[in-house]
């Protein structure tokens, strides 16, 4: 086997491969090889409808997983899964510890090594990242990444508790700051610093409702006029009802495979071209700026770099719009608009499907498709998988979609995971 100590790769396998240790150059190449050794593809993806479910945790998860299994072109047996990662903030609060194992048990993945991944609303974005790394590590060939949240079992008080604790407890929550309030502060500051206004947020709301209206799995399927969205009742000034995502139940599931087994399952894989992630200070007041998310900037920079692309190459992006202002800021942090230009971008309709420069939230986003916290990250990947394979409802299809991006944020930006997907692998 090849071993590497002191930066030097020495050994028997190397020798048997006919490699001679011309050392430095070879070592550099091998360090590089480690990074690119395994390509990872999505071979199947599915989800429940988002909304208010009668189903409990096990039922919702089974539905999402079965939809994912059924989406694999060749017969798929869940017992083939080597490892699983399930994102959830709180599952729902009933069965708490060890729930990940309960879910794989109830979806045929018996005995699989599984764990819950939690990063507030970015839980399954990180589940996806960890699943991707599990395959790249060479330890697993087929890995499930999923997410789930049951929010409508909770009393309103418990909901506020779960949602509130994703921001900073000590300095924000205990002072009375809610999540809409947190994002309202960001919006006010953005309006103050840049050429933006609440009207720009209304454009984002109208667009996402328009996209989601045609999505059979969306929570809020209704078109909303500019006037109606502009006149919504105030939640946290300047954010109205139409700026805020709903409280949804739902589950989502994505099946990843290593390149050397992909063709056993499909001739039409979607490649995970890269994964990037970062974190930031939890409390707003600790950040140098509250009109940008450093975690998003860090995650996307590393994802673009690893995929060898820029924002300009992206055809569609599922963006974390828990509030419309979050999409506006993400537009800038992800590089679709210059810093401070997110308002103009929205105003000009740049994110509208098949009209603008990139389609933002073809699914309807968190605003319209819904936001079952832990399910959101892998739910974004479900949409990108279907879009890139051309298998969404026809009126929703993004034309010539070759490259898609998912952007999943935890809390008010303390954590972020960005993934880039493509019809083709990296070159």
Active site residues: 121, 371
Under the criterion CB under 8 A, does residue 180 sit at the interface with a copy of itself?
A: no
Spatial separation of the C-alpha atoms in residues 148 and 253, rounded to whole Å = 9
As measured in angstroms, the least distance from the Cβ of 104 to a copy of itself is: 6
Contact between 263 and a copy of itself per CB under 8 A: yes
> Is the peptide bond between 117 and the residue preceding it cis, with omega within 30 degrees of 0?
no
Q: Does 288 bind a copy of itself (CB under 8 A)?
A: no
Whole-number Cα distances in Å, 318 to 20, 102, 109, 308, 327: 47, 29, 28, 19, 10
Taking CA 387 as the corner, what is the angle to CA 383 and CA 390, rounded to the nearest 5 degrees?
140
23 lies in the binding site for a copy of itself (CB under 8 A): no
User: What does the per-residue mask of binding to a copy of itself show for 388-427, with x meaning CB under 8 A?
Assistant: ----------------------xx--xx-x-------xxx
Among the residue ranges 65-73, 168-176, 325-333, 359-367, the one whose residues contact a copy of itself (CB under 8 A): 168-176
Name which position in 54, 97, 157, 216 contacts a copy of itself (CB under 8 A).
Answer: 97
Answer whether 418's CB lies under 8 Å from 276's CB.
yes
**How would DSSP label each residue in 220-238?**
------HHHHHTPPEEETT
Contacting a copy of itself (CB under 8 A), which of 105, 153, 268, 402? 105
Of residues 333, 291, 339, the one with CA closest to residue 191: 291
Answer yes or no whether residue 285 interacts with a copy of itself by CB under 8 A: no
Contact region with a copy of itself (CB under 8 A), list: 14-22, 193-201, 377-385, 389-397:
14-22
Neighbouring-strand partners of residue 410: 415
Question: Judged by CB, which is closer to a copy of itself: 29, or 234?
Answer: 29
**Partners of residue 360 on adjacent β-strands:** 317
Token pair, residue 267, equals 């001739």
CB of 153 to a copy of itself, least distance (A): 13
Q: Can you tell me which of 189, 210, 281, 423 binds a copy of itself, judged by CB under 8 A?
A: 281
Q: Which of 52, 59, 108, 113 binds a copy of itself (CB under 8 A)?
A: 113
Considering only residues 138 through 167, tell me which ones interact with a copy of itself, judged by CB under 8 A. Answer: 138-139, 162, 165-167
Q: What six digits make up the tokens of 30?
A: 């091998």
* Positions in 289-318 near a copy of itself (CB under 8 A): 294-295, 298-299
Strand partners, 40: 258, 272
Measure the CA–CA gap between 145 and 122, rounded to whole angstroms.
13
Q: Which is nearer to a copy of itself, 148 or 414 (CB)?
A: 414
> Token digits for 21?
């240790």
**What part of residues 353-382 is at the interface with a copy of itself (CB under 8 A)?**
none
Q: Which residue shows structure tokens 């779960």? A: 162
Work out which of 45, 60, 64, 89 binds a copy of itself, going by CB under 8 A: 89
**By CB under 8 A, what part of segment 29-48 binds a copy of itself?**
29, 31-39
Q: Is residue 21 within the footprint of a copy of itself (CB under 8 A)?
A: no
We find the least distance from the C-beta atom of residue 257 to a copy of itself, in angstroms, to be 12
Instruction: Identify whether the C-beta of residue 147 lies closer than 8 Å to the C-beta of residue 87.
Output: yes
Question: What are the tokens at 52?
Answer: 């208010």
Name 3's bridge partners: 10
Nearest-approach distance from CB 183 to a copy of itself, in angstroms: 15
């Amino acid at each position: 086997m090849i071993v590497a100590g002191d930066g030097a790769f020495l050994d028997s396998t190397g020798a048997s491969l006919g490699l001679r240790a011309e050392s430095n150059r070879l070592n550099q190449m091998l360090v590089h090889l480690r990074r690119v050794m395994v390509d990872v593809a999505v071979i199947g993806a599915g989800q429940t409808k988002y909304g208010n479910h009668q189903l409990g945790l096990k039922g919702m998860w089974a539905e999402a997983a079965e939809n994912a299994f059924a989406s694999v072109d060749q017969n798929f047996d869940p017992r083939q899964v080597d490892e699983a990662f399930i994102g959830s903030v709180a599952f729902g609060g009933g069965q708490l510890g060890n729930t990940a194992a309960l879910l794989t048990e109830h979806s045929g993945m018996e005995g699989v090594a599984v764990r819950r991944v939690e990063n507030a609303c970015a839980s399954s974005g990180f589940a996806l990242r960890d699943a991707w790394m599990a395959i790249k590590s060479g330890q697993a060939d087929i890995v499930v990444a999923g997410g789930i949240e049951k929010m409508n079992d909770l009393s309103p008080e418990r909901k506020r508790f779960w949602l509130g604790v994703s921001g900073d407890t000590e300095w924000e929550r205990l002072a009375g700051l809610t999540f809409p309030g947190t994002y309202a502060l960001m919006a006010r500051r953005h309006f103050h610093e840049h050429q933006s206004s609440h009207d720009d947020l209304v454009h984002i709301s109208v667009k996402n409702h328009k996209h989601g209206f045609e999505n059979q799995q969306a929570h809020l399927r209704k078109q909303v006029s500019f006037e109606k969205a502009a006149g919504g009742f105030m939640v946290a000034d300047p954010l109205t009802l139409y700026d805020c995502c709903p409280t949804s139940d739902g589950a989502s599931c994505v099946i990843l495979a290593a390149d050397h087994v992909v063709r056993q399952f499909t001739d039409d894989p979607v490649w995970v071209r890269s994964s990037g992630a970062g974190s930031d200070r939890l409390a707003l007041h600790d950040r140098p700026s509250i009109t940008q998310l450093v975690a998003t900037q860090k995650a996307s920079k590393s994802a673009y770099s690893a995929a060898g692309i820029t924002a300009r190459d992206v055809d569609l992006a599922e963006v974390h719009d828990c509030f419309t202002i979050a999409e506006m800021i993400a537009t800038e942090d992800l590089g679709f608009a210059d810093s401070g230009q997110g308002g103009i971008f929205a105003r000009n309709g740049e994110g509208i499907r098949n009209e603008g420069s990139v389609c933002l939230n073809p699914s309807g986003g968190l605003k319209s498709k819904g936001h079952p916290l832990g399910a959101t990250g892998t739910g974004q990947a479900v949409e990108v998988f279907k879009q890139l394979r051309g298998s969404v409802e026809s009126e929703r299809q993004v034309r010539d979609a070759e490259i898609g991006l998912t952007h999943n944020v935890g809390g008010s930006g303390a954590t972020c995971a960005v993934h880039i997907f493509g019809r083709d692998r990296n070159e």
